[in-house]
């Protein structure tokens, strides 16, 4: 699946004019000219506080991930951000316009791809797209042309007149995304779009999100898959129990953990001599020799790796395999909450 | 408004495509209306019976009963009168269903009347209770007239007047003539819709609940299938989403009732009344049904639950409201209770329209009650639905 979507001249200009945001690992990061700004969102269901003061902003062209386990408050947060749900407190501004449940102008800038398939099974793809397009005020030849475009984008042109109840799961997911893109939104909100999707369709969806971001669309992406957040998101907000407990780029979040990378060399030869030499390299924090090779703790494994391999070879060590284990967002989440993402 | 129309159009397209609305809202009620109107004897709307008369007297007073009084009923097309020879043969004729009732005039009947002695006419009834009652009424009235004539003659004699052949002839003529005071049963005149009309209208008001429910069911379905978040995220007010669903229910309800109106008029000669007034009454009934369906749907969590609940409410209200049995045959208490249902007010309006002289003023109470029910109950339902959408 390849993705091309045209932005209007305003959006393109805004996207080009705004430099990439430079967030930090604190919730106070505020990209300028944000396409979405959420401040202190709160929502309770009965006595249960589902969202407790969530704030974040997304710049045009930025992909922001809300990463957290099931039940962390991701869907409730985006429901308030999209005006689907009344909030108890807080403020949402979309493309410069305040948003509430009844705000039609702000909502027109949002394309929502809900976690559940939000398409009508007894209508075909074209009818689904036409219905939602009309809700966004589209019509006539403009709508027909745009439907053709998005069907092409999600590779469903050939099946456009088939009822969607006869589609495969992946096709339904693609149409679900197509509906969200139909009206050329400035902000695309994807709520766990890859849940229950086969690997091939999942990869196609991730590729399309990358393409949309590259074209200047602001993207809010919720997931509990750490790999997706790491691949797609410029910044990530880690959410747990209704709060964003950390926010920043992947590197910034990993830095919060303060850990080193682990480089494991499966090797033979004069391992102790090599260990001494490797321990002297700047950035190497420690070297352990074991029966099968060497384990090194380093800062910046990717940067140091060529030098490490060269030094080991110079000392007569024969290397059969290399494994680099870097701290990831899973480790960050574990570090911050004491539990795994998939708990 | 545009968004509401778009949503209504989508719901109608889906319902027409799965044919459920056509089956529940048009085919089933139409079939039942036709079946009822064909299977049930039309005794209430165009009454006709036959009597067998055994005149063992043959006197002139007996002849007044057989020729003048019963003759008037024959002329009115209410009954045929056959002459029987014996009481046993007449009784057998009634038992066999060949006659609705038998009227037996004993020998010496005229003589007894003329001498002021008690006289007796016997009536034998069969399985048709209405025929027996008609015969009893006719003969009772004749007996009253005869009594009045006897009183006139006795009074003439007591006051010193001459009771001659002329006086007796005048008394006999008075008995043979229609009564001077005509009692008109206004209630009967008002409720004169024939069976085809009654059952057509009854099925229409009962099944319109199944048509209007599709609007509110669509909202529940959107919640269940996950499309509601996308609708709410669109630049559309929640009220427009609910209004669109209501419009779809309104359209389906109007189509359902209108099809029944036209079909029963064309195929079974139902006579609903003045088309503009019937149209107004139908619109009011659909508003009432939509209001109730909307409220009922808010009490359910799933479309299936709502459908079941709506069916229970629709059938219960139909039973109370006189859809299955005309309220003219129900106890007084039942008639009182039935007034809480839209069915009562709709059928009352239709029955009123069946009188050719009825105008808007005559059905205005029905229209006001129906629209009032729809607005109040529907208003509560819509408020509950809106709160449930974005709670």
Q: Is pLDDT above 60 for B329?
A: yes
Predicted local confidence at residue B346, as pLDDT: 92
Does residue A195 belong to the interface with chain B, where contact is any CB pair within 8 Å? no
Long-range contacts of A169-172 (CB under 8 A, 24+ apart): A169/A196, A169/A197, A169/A198, A169/A201, A170/A197, A170/A198, A170/A200, A170/A201, A170/A204, A172/A117, A172/A119
Q: What does pLDDT average to over chain B?
A: 80
- Give the mean model confidence (pLDDT) for residues A194-213: 83
The CATH code that applies to domain B47-185 is 3.40.190
Q: How far is A32 from chain B (nearest CA, A)?
A: 25
Does residue B5 belong to the interface with chain A, where contact is any CB pair within 8 Å? no
Look at residues A177, A253, A218 and name the one whose alpha carbon lies nearest to residue A2: A177
Predicted local confidence at residue A20, as pLDDT: 32
**Taking a contact as any Cβ pair under 8 Å apart, which residues of chain A between 135 and 194 contact chain B?**
135-137, 179, 189
Task: Work out the percent of chain A whose per-residue pLDDT is above 70.
Answer: 88
Judged by CB atoms closer than 8 Å, whether chains meet at B235 and A132 is answered as no
| SS3 per residue for A324-338 | EECCCHHHHHHHHHC
- Give the mean model confidence (pLDDT) for residues A238-249: 89
Residues A187 and A59: their CA atoms lie apart, in Å, by 9
- For residue B14, give the nearest of A86, A115, A122 by CB distance: A122
CA B354 to chain centre: 10
Residue A317 Cα distances to A157, A189, A273, A302, angstroms: 58, 52, 9, 20
Most trustworthy range by pLDDT among A128-137, A167-176, B356-365: A128-137
Q: Is pLDDT above 60 for B156?
A: yes
Residues A164 and A204: their CA atoms lie apart, in Å, by 19
Does residue B17 belong to the interface with chain A, where contact is any CB pair within 8 Å? yes
A261-268, strands of its sheet edge to edge? A284-290, A293-298, A261-268, A318-325
Q: Is pLDDT above 80 for B260?
A: yes
Determine the residue of chain B that is closest to A135 in CA distance.
B3
Does residue B258 belong to the interface with chain A, where contact is any CB pair within 8 Å? no
pLDDT band for position B39 (50/70/90)?
Answer: low
Q: How far is A53 from chain B (nearest CA, A)?
A: 18
Residues B231 and A84: their CA atoms lie apart, in Å, by 9
Q: How far is B229 from chain A (nearest CA, A)?
A: 6
Residues B378 and A244: their CA atoms lie apart, in Å, by 42
Q: How far is B274 from chain A (nearest CA, A)?
A: 40
- Give the mean model confidence (pLDDT) for residues B245-260: 88
Look at residues A180, A175, A59, A65 and name the one whose alpha carbon lies nearest to residue A111: A180
Interface test with B, best of A135, A162, A190 (most B CBs within 10 A): A135
- For residue B17, give the nearest of A122, A131, A134 by CB distance: A122
Counted across chains A and B, CB pairs separated by less than 8 A come out at 80
Residue B37 Cα distances to B40, B47, B316, angstroms: 6, 15, 22
* DSSP codes joined into one string, B56-121: SS-SHHHHIIIIIIHHHHHHTTSEEEEE-S-HHHHHHHHHTTSSSEEEEE-TTHHHHHHTT-----
Predicted local confidence at residue B189, as pLDDT: 40
Judged by CB atoms closer than 8 Å, whether chains meet at B235 and A136 is answered as yes
Q: Which residue has tokens 């089933």?
A: B28
Q: How many CA atoms lie within 13 A of B373 on its CB side?
A: 23
Paired sense of beta strands A97-98 and A89-94, if any: antiparallel
Look at residues B207, B144, B63, B145 and name the one whose alpha carbon lies nearest to residue B71: B63
Q: Is pLDDT above 90 for B369?
A: yes
Residue A94 Cα distances to A335, B315, B344, angstroms: 33, 49, 53
Does residue B234 belong to the interface with chain A, where contact is any CB pair within 8 Å? yes
CA A275 to chain centre: 40
Interface test with B, best of A43, A84, A106 (most B CBs within 10 A): A84
Q: How far is B390 from chain A (nearest CA, A)?
A: 5
β-bridge mates for residue A97, sequence order: A94
Residues B251 and A54: their CA atoms lie apart, in Å, by 44
Q: Is pLDDT above 60 for A151?
A: yes
- For residue B227, give the nearest of A107, A115, A119 by CB distance: A119
Does residue A334 belong to the interface with chain B, where contact is any CB pair within 8 Å? no
For chain A, residues classed under CATH 3.40.50.300 are: 9-109+185-255
Judged by CB atoms closer than 8 Å, whether chains meet at B10 and A131 is answered as yes
- Give the mean model confidence (pLDDT) for residues A262-280: 88
Does residue A83 belong to the interface with chain B, where contact is any CB pair within 8 Å? yes
Task: Work out the percent of chain A whose per-residue pLDDT is above 90.
Answer: 29
List of chain A residues whose C-beta atoms are within 8 Å of the C-beta of residue B10: 120, 123, 131
Judged by CB atoms closer than 8 Å, whether chains meet at A132 and B230 is answered as yes
List of chain B residues whose C-beta atoms are within 8 Å of the C-beta of residue A131: 6, 10
- A9-109+185-255 architecture in CATH? 3-Layer(aba) Sandwich (3.40)
Of the given ranges (A268-282, B8-22, B120-134, B262-276), which has the lowest mean pLDDT?
B120-134
Which residue did the predictor score with more confidence, A6 or B351? B351
- Give the mean model confidence (pLDDT) for residues B76-97: 84
Cβ neighbourhood burial of B164 (10 Å; 0-12, 13-18, 19+):
exposed
Residues A208 and A225: their CA atoms lie apart, in Å, by 17
List of chain A residues whose C-beta atoms are within 8 Å of the C-beta of residue B225: 116-118, 120-121
Interface test with A, best of B9, B18, B219, B230 (most A CBs within 10 A): B230
8 A C-beta contact, residue B27 and residue A156: no
Q: Is pLDDT above 90 for B61?
A: no
Predicted local confidence at residue B180, as pLDDT: 43
Judged by CB atoms closer than 8 Å, whether chains meet at B390 and A132 is answered as no
Residue A332 has phi, psi (to 5 degrees) of -65, -45
Q: pTM of the entire structure?
A: 0.67
- For residue A79, give the nearest of B2, B226, B229 by CB distance: B229
Residues B240 and B5: their CA atoms lie apart, in Å, by 9
Residue A312 CB partners (closer than 8 Å, separation 6+):
A265, A267, A274, A277, A278, A294, A319
- Give the mean model confidence (pLDDT) for residues B151-167: 69
Judged by CB atoms closer than 8 Å, whether chains meet at A82 and B233 is answered as yes
- Give the mean model confidence (pLDDT) for residues A256-273: 82
List of chain A residues whose C-beta atoms are within 8 Å of the C-beta of residue B6: 131, 134-135
Q: What is the largest CA-CA distance in chain A?
A: 77
Give chain B's length. 391
Judged by CB atoms closer than 8 Å, whether chains meet at A112 and B235 is answered as no
Q: Is pLDDT above 60 for B192?
A: no
Does residue B236 belong to the interface with chain A, where contact is any CB pair within 8 Å? yes
Residues B50 and B97: their CA atoms lie apart, in Å, by 10
Predicted local confidence at residue B185, as pLDDT: 40
A36-45, strands of its sheet edge to edge? A48-58, A36-45, A89-94, A97-98
Predicted local confidence at residue B178, as pLDDT: 53
Residues B320 and A22: their CA atoms lie apart, in Å, by 71
Q: What angle do CA B304, B309, B313 make, to 5 degrees?
A: 150
8 A C-beta contact, residue B108 and residue B100: no
- Give the mean model confidence (pLDDT) for residues A4-12: 38
Task: Work out the percent of chain B whose per-residue pLDDT is above 90.
Answer: 12
Q: Is pLDDT above 60 for B191?
A: no
Identify the DSSP state of B23: I
> How crowded is residue A323: how many other Cβ atoms within 10 Å of its Cβ?
11
Which sequence spans correspond to the domains of chain B?
2-42+192-389, 47-185
> How crowded is residue B38: how many other Cβ atoms within 10 Å of its Cβ?
12
The CATH code that applies to domain A260-326 is 3.30.70.100
- For residue A101, give the nearest of B10, B225, B390 by CB distance: B390
Question: Which pLDDT tens digit goes with each residue over A112-137?
Answer: 998 888 999 999 999 999 999 999 99
Judged by CB atoms closer than 8 Å, whether chains meet at B10 and A112 is answered as no
Q: Which residue has tokens 């589209």?
A: A138
Judged by CB atoms closer than 8 Å, whether chains meet at B232 and A101 is answered as yes
Paired sense of beta strands B101-105 and B49-55, if any: parallel
- Give the mean model confidence (pLDDT) for residues B218-223: 87
């Amino acid at each position: 699946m390849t993705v091309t979507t045209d932005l209007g001249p305003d959006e393109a200009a805004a996207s080009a004019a705004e430099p990439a945001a430079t967030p930090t690992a604190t919730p106070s990061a505020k990209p300028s000219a944000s396409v979405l700004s959420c401040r202190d969102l709160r929502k309770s269901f009965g006595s249960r506080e589902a969202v407790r003061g969530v704030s974040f902003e997304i710049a045009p062209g930025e992909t922001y991930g809300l990463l957290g386990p099931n039940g962390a408050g991701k869907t409730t947060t985006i429901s308030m951000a999209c005006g689907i749900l009344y909030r108890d407190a807080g403020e949402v501004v979309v493309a410069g316009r305040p948003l509430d449940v009844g705000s039609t102008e702000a909502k027109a800038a949002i394309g929502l791809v809900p976690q559940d398939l939000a398409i009508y099974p007894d209508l075909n793809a074209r009818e689904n797209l036409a219905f939602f397009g009309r809700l966004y005020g589209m019509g006539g030849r403009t709508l027909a042309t745009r439907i053709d475009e998005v069907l092409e984008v999600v590779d469903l042109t050939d099946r456009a007149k088939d009822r969607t109840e006869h589609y495969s799961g992946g096709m339904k997911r693609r149409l679900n995304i197509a509906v969200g893109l139909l009206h050329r939104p400035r902000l695309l909100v994807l709520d766990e779009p890859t849940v229950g999707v086969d690997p091939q369709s999942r990869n196609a969806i991730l590729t399309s999100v990358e393409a949309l971001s590259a074209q200047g669309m602001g993207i809010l992406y919720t997931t509990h898959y750490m790999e997706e957040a790491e691949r797609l998101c410029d910044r990530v907000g880690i959410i747990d129990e209704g709060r964003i407990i950390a926010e920043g780029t992947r590197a910034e979040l990993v830095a919060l953990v303060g850990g080193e990378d682990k480089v494991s060399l499966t090797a033979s030869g004069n391992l102790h001599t090599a260990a001494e030499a490797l321990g002297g390299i700047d950035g190497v924090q420690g070297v352990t020799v074991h029966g099968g090779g060497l384990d090194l703790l380093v800062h910046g494994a990717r940067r140091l790796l060529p030098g490490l391999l060269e030094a080991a070879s110079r000392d007569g060590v024969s290397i059969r395999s290399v494994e680099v284990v870097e701290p990831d967002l899973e480790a960050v989440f574990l570090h911050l909450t004491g539990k795994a993402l998939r708990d | 408004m545009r968004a509401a129309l778009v949503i209504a159009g989508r719901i109608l397209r889906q319902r027409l495509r799965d044919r459920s609305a056509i089956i529940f809202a048009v085919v089933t009620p139409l079939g039942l209306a036709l079946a009822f109107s064909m299977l049930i004897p039309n005794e209430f709307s165009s009454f006709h019976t036959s009597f067998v008369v055994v005149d063992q007297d043959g006197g002139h007073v007996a002849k007044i009963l057989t020729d003048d009084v019963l003759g008037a009923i024959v002329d009115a097309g209410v009954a045929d009168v056959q002459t029987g020879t014996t009481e046993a043969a007449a009784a057998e004729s009634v038992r066999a269903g060949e006659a609705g009732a038998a009227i037996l005039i004993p020998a010496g009947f005229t003589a007894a009347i003329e001498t002021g002695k008690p006289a007796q006419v016997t009536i034998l009834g069969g399985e048709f209770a209405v025929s027996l009652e008609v015969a009893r009424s006719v003969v009772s009235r004749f007996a009253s007239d005869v009594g009045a004539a006897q009183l006139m003659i006795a009074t003439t004699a007591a006051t010193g007047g001459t009771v001659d052949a002329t006086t007796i002839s005048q008394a006999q003529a008075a008995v043979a003539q229609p009564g001077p005071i005509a009692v008109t049963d206004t209630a009967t005149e008002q409720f004169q819709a024939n069976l085809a009309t009654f059952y057509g209208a009854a099925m229409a008001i009962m099944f319109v609940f199944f048509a209007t429910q599709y609007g509110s069911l669509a909202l529940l379905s959107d919640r269940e299938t996950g499309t509601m978040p996308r609708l709410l995220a669109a630049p559309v007010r929640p009220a427009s989403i609910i209004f669109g669903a209501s419009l779809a229910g309104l359209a389906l309800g109007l189509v359902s009732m209108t099809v029944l109106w036209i079909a029963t008029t064309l195929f079974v000669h139902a006579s609903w009344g003045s088309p503009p007034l019937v149209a107004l009454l139908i619109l009011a009934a659909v508003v009432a049904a939509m209001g109730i369906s909307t409220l009922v749907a808010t009490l359910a969590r799933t479309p299936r639950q709502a459908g079941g609940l709506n069916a229970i409410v629709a059938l219960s209200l139909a039973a109370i409201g006189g859809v299955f049995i005309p309220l003219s045959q129900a106890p007084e208490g039942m008639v009182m209770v039935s007034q809480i249902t839209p069915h009562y007010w709709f059928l009352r309006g239709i029955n009123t329209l069946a009188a050719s002289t009825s105008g808007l003023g005559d059905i205005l109470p029905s229209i006001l009650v129906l629209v009032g029910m729809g607005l109040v109950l529907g208003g509560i339902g819509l408020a509950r639905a809106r709160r449930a959408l974005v709670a």
